[in-house]
């Protein structure tokens, strides 16, 4: 099986408080993996471990291994900056850069990653990224508008375009729809399905219906532990663990 990421015995602490306990999971290339579970179960912490976003958090500590392209991202002299160019991230709250236009928002990752590019190359990347994020048709005539002037759903797709522009292999999405209305959420879901042909996508979600619709596999987290991980069909119809069943039938969480 071709895995984009392999997580082995991952534990994480904020100070003395352990938030992840021996997580082991394989994430298949070009698939959509949902990470599901009640609030505080460690699912956001988990995906932020996959691109080392916690590096600057005081008191944060991990143990275990995360393999990306055959190398452990926590030990094998991996530069977190280069890692994050390969493992992009979309956040819960759309966070386009203030005081930057739509164009600049998409171009910014490339602009600062060292390689010189001509204006027309830059424009090509911006167009391609906005097309992939299904924003080009709406915004092709408004590239100079401030990114923050868009609607919430557009802002989130702008953030997706921005992440795609640096050509990652993996896209981590931390509850990308939870701040959006149902229509915008549906568009993001469509987008996730389209993107899964080319990208490996890991989505944290609260929404079980959403997880069922978009995922190839679903991981269920509870109190910092991975309870089980299987295909979406299996998890939602015939979960192996009683706690998963209780969660999806709405008995807690």
Partner 1 sequence: MHAIAFRRRAADRATKVLFALCAFAVVLPLFLILFDLLWKGARELKWTLVTDLPHPVGEPGGGIANGILGTLTIAGLAMAGGIPLGVMSGIYLAEYGRGKFASAVRFSVDMLAGVPSIILGIFGYVLWVLPMKRFSAWAAASALAMIFIPTVVRTTEEMLKTVPVSVREGALALGIERWKTTLFITVRTASAGILTGILLAMARIIGETAPLLFTALGNQFWQTGLDQPIAAIPLQVFNYAISPYDDWHDKAWAGALVLIGMVLVISTAARYIARVKK
Q: Which residues bind partner 1 (CB under 8 A)?
A: 51, 53, 56, 58, 81-86, 88-89, 91, 93, 95-100, 108-109, 112-113, 159, 162-163, 166
Q: Among residues 21 and 85, whose Cβ is nearest to partner 1? A: 85
> Which of 59, 237 has the CB closer to partner 1?
59
In whole angstroms, the minimum distance from the beta carbon of 92 to partner 1 comes to 9
Cβ proximity of 86 and 67 under 8 Å: no
d(CA 162, CA 156): 10
Closest contact distance (angstroms) between CB of 79 and partner 1 is 9
Nearer to partner 1, 128 or 234 (CB): 128
Least separation, in Å, of the C-beta of 148 and partner 1? 10
Pick between residue 143 and residue 158 the one whose CB is nearest to partner 1: 158
Provide, rounded to whole angstroms, the least separation between the CB of residue 89 and partner 1.
4
Q: Output phi, psi for 52, to 5 deg.
A: 55, 40
Instruction: Find out whether 12 and 74 touch, Cβ atoms under 8 Å.
Output: no
In 3-state terms, what secondary structure has residue 36?
A: strand
Query: Strands, DSSP E only, in 15-68?
Result: 17-28, 32-36, 60-68
Sign of torsion over alpha carbons 39, 45, 46, 48: positive
Tokens of 112: 């600062």
CB of 233 to partner 1, least distance (A): 32
């Amino acid at each position: 099986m071709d895995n984009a990421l392999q997580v082995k015995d991952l534990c994480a602490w904020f100070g003395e408080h352990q938030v992840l306990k021996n997580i082991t999971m394989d994430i298949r290339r070009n698939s959509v993996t949902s990470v599901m579970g009640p609030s505080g179960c460690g699912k956001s912490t988990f995906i932020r471990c996959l691109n080392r976003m916690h590096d600057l958090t005081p008191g944060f500590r991990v143990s275990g291994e995360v393999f990306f392209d055959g190398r452990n991202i926590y030990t094998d002299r991996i530069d977190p900056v280069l890692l994050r160019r390969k493992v992009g991230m979309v956040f819960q709250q759309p966070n386009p850069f203030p005081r930057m236009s739509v164009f600049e928002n998409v171009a910014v990752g490339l602009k600062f990653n060292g390689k010189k590019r001509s204006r027309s190359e830059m424009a090509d990347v911006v167009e391609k990224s906005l097309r992939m994020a299904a924003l080009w048709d709406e915004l092709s005539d408004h590239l100079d508008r401030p990114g923050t002037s868009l609607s919430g759903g557009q802002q989130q797709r702008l953030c997706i375009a921005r992440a795609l522009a640096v050509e990652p292999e993996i896209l981590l999405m931390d509850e990308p729809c939870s701040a959006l209305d149902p229509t915008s959420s549906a568009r993001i879901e469509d987008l996730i399905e389209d993107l899964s042909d080319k990208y490996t996508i890991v989505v944290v979600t609260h929404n079980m219906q959403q997880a069922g619709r978009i995922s190839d596999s679903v991981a269920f987290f509870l109190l910092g532990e991975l309870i089980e991980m299987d295909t979406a069909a299996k998890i939602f119809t015939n979960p192996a663990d009683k706690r998963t069943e209780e969660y999806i039938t709405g008995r807690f969480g």
